Amino acid sequence: MSDSHVSSLRVPLLAEERTLAQLTEEISAPLERRPGAAFWGAFALSFSALCVGVGMVTYQIATGVGVWGLNKTVGWAFDITNFVFWVGIGHAGTLISAILFLFRQKWRTSINRAAEAMTLFAVICAAIFPLIHMGRPWLAFWMFPYPNSRGSLWVNFRSPLLWDVFAISTYFTISAVFWYVGLIPDLATVRDRTKSKLRRFVFGLMSFGWTGSGRTWARYETLYLLLAGLATPLVVSVHTIVSMDFATSVIPGWHTTIFPPYFVAGAVFSGFAMVLTLIIITRKVLGFEHLITVRHLENMTKVIIVTGGIVSLAYATEFFIAWYSGNPYELFAFKNRALGPFNWAYWTMVSCNVLSPQLFWFKKIRTSVAAIFLLSLVINVGMWFERFVIIVTSLHRDFLPSSWSMYRPTVIEVGTLIGTFGLFFTLFLVFTRLLPVISIGELKAVSRWARGPARHDVPAAAHGAPGARHAGKEAA
Amino acid sequence: MSHKVLVGYFDSEDRLLAATRAARAANLPVHDVYTPYAVHGMEEALGLRHSRLTWVCFAAGLFGLLSAVSLQYFTSVVSWPLNVGGKPFNSAPAFVPVSFELTVLIAGLVTVAAFFLRSWVLPGVSAHALPRVTNDRFALAIATEVARFDPDEASGLMRRHGAVETELAEVAR
CATH number for B14 = 3.30.70.120
- Which mean pLDDT values do the consecutive 10-residue runs of chain B (173 residues) have? 86 88 88 89 87 94 96 92 87 93 96 93 81 87 84 86 86 80
Q: Which residues pair with B166 in a beta bridge?
A: B8
SS (H, E, C) A122-148: HHHHHHHHHHHHCCCHHHHHHHCCCCC
**Is A441 within the bounds of a domain?**
yes
Q: What is the pLDDT of residues A236-275, one digit of tens each?
A: 999 999 999 999 998 998 999 999 999 999 999 999 999 9
**Is B139 within the bounds of a domain?**
yes
For residues A72-82, give the mean pLDDT: 92
Residues in A closer than 8 angstroms to B122, CB to CB, are 208-209
Chain A contact probe: residue of B95, B134, B137, B170 with most A CBs at under 10 A: B134
**Is A464 within the bounds of a domain?**
no
- A193/B133 Cβ within 8 A: no
Residues in A closer than 8 angstroms to B116, CB to CB, are 208
Residues in A closer than 8 angstroms to B75, CB to CB, are 145, 154-155, 157
DSSP A178: H
> What is the pTM assigned to this prediction?
0.90
In this structure, are B67 and B19 located in the same domain? no
- B97/A166 Cβ within 8 A: yes
Q: Is the pLDDT reported for residue A472 higher than 60?
A: no
Rounded CA separation A414/A52 (Å):
10
- B135/A24 Cβ within 8 A: yes
Q: Is the pLDDT reported for residue A4 higher than 60?
A: no
Q: Is the pLDDT reported for residue A47 higher than 50?
A: yes
Q: Phi and psi at residue B162, in whole multiples of 5°?
A: 90, 20
Which DSSP string corresponds to A57-106? HHHHHHH-GGGSS--SS--S-HHHHHHHHHHHHHHHHHIIIIIHHHTT-G
Nearest Cβ partner for A177 among B71, B72, B109: B109
**Is B44 within the bounds of a domain?**
no
Q: What is the mean pLDDT of chain A?
A: 87
Chain B contact probe: residue of A153, A158, A193 with most B CBs at under 10 A: A158
Task: Count contacts between A and B (CB, < 8 Å).
Answer: 231
Residues in A closer than 8 angstroms to B102, CB to CB, are 166, 170
Residues in A closer than 8 angstroms to B138, CB to CB, are none
**Is B48 within the bounds of a domain?**
no
Q: How many domains does chain B have?
A: 2
End-to-end CA, chain B: 6
**Is B14 within the bounds of a domain?**
yes
Q: How far is A236 from chain B (nearest CA, A)?
A: 11
Q: Is the pLDDT reported for residue A457 higher than 80?
A: no
Rounded CA separation A351/B18 (Å):
57
In this structure, are B18 and B73 located in the same domain? no
Nearest Cβ partner for B101 among A19, A170, A231: A170
Give the range of the structural domain holding residue A295, as residue numbers without chain letter.
Answer: 23-143+157-445
**Is A4 within the bounds of a domain?**
no
Rounded CA separation B28/A67 (Å):
75
The conformational region for residue A135 under phi > 0 = left, psi -120 to 50 = alpha, else beta, is left
Nearest Cβ partner for B14 among A2, A158, A207: A2
- A145/B75 Cβ within 8 A: yes
Rounded CA separation A287/B151 (Å):
47
Which pLDDT score, from 0 to 100, does residue A454 have? 41
Nearest Cβ partner for B135 among A3, A153, A192: A192
Q: What is the pLDDT of residues A172-218, one digit of tens each?
A: 999 999 999 999 999 999 888 888 888 888 888 898 989 888 899 99
Pairing of strands B165-171, B138-143: unpaired
Q: What angle do CA A211, A97, A40 make, to 5 degrees?
A: 85
**Is A367 within the bounds of a domain?**
yes
Q: Is the pLDDT reported for residue A289 higher than 90?
A: no
In this structure, are B65 and B108 located in the same domain? yes
- B38/A173 Cβ within 8 A: no
- A157/B98 Cβ within 8 A: yes
User: Cβ-count burial of A195 within 10 angstroms (0-12 exposed, 13-18 middle, 19+ buried)?
Assistant: exposed
**Is B20 within the bounds of a domain?**
yes
In this structure, are B102 and B145 located in the same domain? no
Residues in B closer than 8 angstroms to A250, CB to CB, are none
**Is A275 within the bounds of a domain?**
yes
Rounded CA separation A140/A156 (Å):
15
The answer to whether B98 touches A163, Cβ cutoff 8 Å, is yes
Residues in A closer than 8 angstroms to B57, CB to CB, are 226, 230
Q: How many domains does chain A have?
A: 1
Which pLDDT score, from 0 to 100, does residue A5 have? 54
- B82/A157 Cβ within 8 A: no
Estimate to the nearest angstrom the gap between the alpha carbon of A382 and the chain centroid: 16
Instruction: Report residue A451's pLDDT band, with 50, 70 and 90 as the boundaries.
Output: low
**Is A466 within the bounds of a domain?**
no
**Is B128 within the bounds of a domain?**
no
**Is B42 within the bounds of a domain?**
no
Rounded CA separation A222/A216 (Å):
10
Q: How far is B124 from chain A (nearest CA, A)?
A: 6
Which pLDDT score, from 0 to 100, does residue A376 have? 94
Instruction: Report residue A6's pLDDT band, with 50, 70 and 90 as the boundaries.
Output: low
- B129/A204 Cβ within 8 A: no
Nearest Cβ partner for A20 among B42, B104, B135: B135
**Is A465 within the bounds of a domain?**
no
- A158/B91 Cβ within 8 A: yes
Which pLDDT score, from 0 to 100, does residue A199 have? 86
Residues in A closer than 8 angstroms to B129, CB to CB, are 188, 192, 210-212
Which pLDDT score, from 0 to 100, does residue A139 have? 92
Residues in B closer than 8 angstroms to A247, CB to CB, are none
Which pLDDT score, from 0 to 100, does residue A8 have? 64
- B75/A157 Cβ within 8 A: yes
Q: Give the ranges where A194-213 is alpha helix by DSSP (H).
A: 197-206
Name the residue in chain A with its Cα closest to that of B138: A212
Q: Is the pLDDT reported for residue A466 higher than 50?
A: no
Q: Is the pLDDT reported for residue A7 higher than 90?
A: no
Residues in A closer than 8 angstroms to B108, CB to CB, are 173-174, 177-178, 226-227, 230-231
User: Which amino acid would we find at residue A315?
Assistant: Y
Q: What is the pLDDT of residues A316-332, one digit of tens each?
A: 999 999 999 999 999 99
- B34/A211 Cβ within 8 A: yes
Nearest Cβ partner for A226 among B46, B85, B111: B111
Pairing of strands B165-171, B3-10: antiparallel
Range name among A104-113, A299-308, A348-357, B120-129 with the lowest pLDDT average? B120-129
Q: Is the pLDDT reported for residue A19 higher than 60?
A: yes
Name the residue in chain A with its Cα closest to that of B85: A158
Give the range of the structural domain holding residue B142, as residue numbers without chain letter.
Answer: 2-36+133-172
